[in-house]
Amino acid sequence: MRLTLALKSLHYRRKSVVLTLFAITISLFLLFAVEHTRHAAKASFTRTISGTDLIVGPRTGPINLLLYSVFKIGVPANTISMTSFDVLAANKQVKWAVPIALGDSHHGFPVVGTTADLFTYFQYGQKQPLKFRAGQPFTLDTDAVIGAEVATHHNYAIGDTLHLHHGVGHVSFHEHDAISFTVAGILAPTGTPIDQTVHVTLAGLTLAHDKDKRIAGSQESNNISAIYIGLQSKIGTLLMQRAVNQYQAEPLMSIIPGVVLNELWQLVGFVETLLLGIAWLIVLSTCIGLATMLLASMRERTQELAVLRSVGAPPSVIFWLIQAEALVITLVATLLSLTLLFVSLQVTNTWVAETFGIFIDSNIFTIHTLWIALGAISATFLTACVPAISAYKQALHMTLN
């Protein structure tokens, strides 16, 4: 009965209710979006690489090494010689080592020169190996293995050819047309930057640069940008890290991916906290606006309250009637905001992944969503107590008269 009365009362005041509903929907959408993106970004960061004990690169900052070697953001300040790679790979503590060479792109997608060992040893998420949606790893120097996003964006299939471009930007003024690569494999989606990467052999990358080398006399393509290393035992991680940092032949450094990932997240953590705080303030201010709307309607509802009292409704019914109206508005706004968020994710997911390298899960129904919804309902209940108590006192006063 109380819910029916609340719905009829809201329908009678539908113009002001619709405006309030719109405001709450937008504020809750903002809150849900910030929270969901926050957790999605963190998950995207932490699941990008696993099973790799060390990443070795030329001397630079740990975060910079992580960004360009894993996320393909930025460029290395220097390179590593293949001689140093061979020395490190031969270390008795090293189980496997995979070289990567950066610096080229394909229509904005980063190109990585590597070996077929990458598809054997590289893992992501909960130590999940790379899987092929079609094709196979490198068998020829001119073979290429592309990520799922690259294949989808360019509609590539096995056997198609592609050319590399100099530089890592979306616009390149030089194409390595000395050699073309054939798509030999397409990786299954991983939700990591691997999806946006074109993998070629180190020998193929050298061939692609061969024309430029003859012109400029550069041997840079014989060098690499970083090394993924897996160790025989986790116990030797710190010892191997110190050995790399003290390597005499050339200045190198090594990082533990998980440690630097946490450092990187802490670096941007205050931003997510700030955004979340702002979103909650917007929701709270909107709830106060809802309470103000209900409080302002009390004077107009004097006759309504008098009729309810005349048919025997106690003051407590009046109190819960006002609360029911506020909660109905918030519940509807919650459903609308979640629907809007789901649609927005479906529309923008690909663009966000291609632009920022963040892969946001479309599953918005998580425990975090539930806690936010409960928090919004609780905030609504508390702020609605002001008009509800006012209505209660007004009804009580009618009884005394």
Quick: pLDDT tens for 88-119: 999 999 999 999 999 888 888 999 999 999 99
User: What's the pLDDT band for 215 if we cut at 50, 70, 90?
Assistant: very low
- d(CA 103, CA 80) in angstroms, rounded, equals 13
User: What's the pLDDT band for 219 if we cut at 50, 70, 90?
Assistant: very low
User: What's the pLDDT band for 55 if we cut at 50, 70, 90?
Assistant: very high
pTM of the full predicted structure?
Answer: 0.70
Per-residue pLDDT at 220: 44
pLDDT at 343 over 50: yes
Per-residue pLDDT at 172: 47
* Structure-model confidence comparison of residues 46 and 397, the more confident one: 46
pLDDT at 211 over 90: no
Domain boundaries, the chain: 2-45+268-400, 54-255
Per-residue pLDDT at 188: 92
Residue 182 has φ and ψ, to the nearest 5°, of -105, 130
pLDDT at 283 over 70: yes
pLDDT at 66 over 90: yes
Q: How many CB atoms lie within 10 A of CB 297?
A: 19
By DSSP bridging, strand 252-255 and strand 109-114 are unpaired
Per-residue pLDDT at 350: 73
- d(CA 275, CA 89) in angstroms, rounded, equals 44
Whole-number Cα distances in Å, 387 to 28, 251, 316, 394, 396 = 22, 69, 13, 10, 14
The beta strand positions in 33-92, using DSSP E, are 54-58
Q: Shortest CA distance to 46 belongs to which of 68, 70, 62?
A: 70
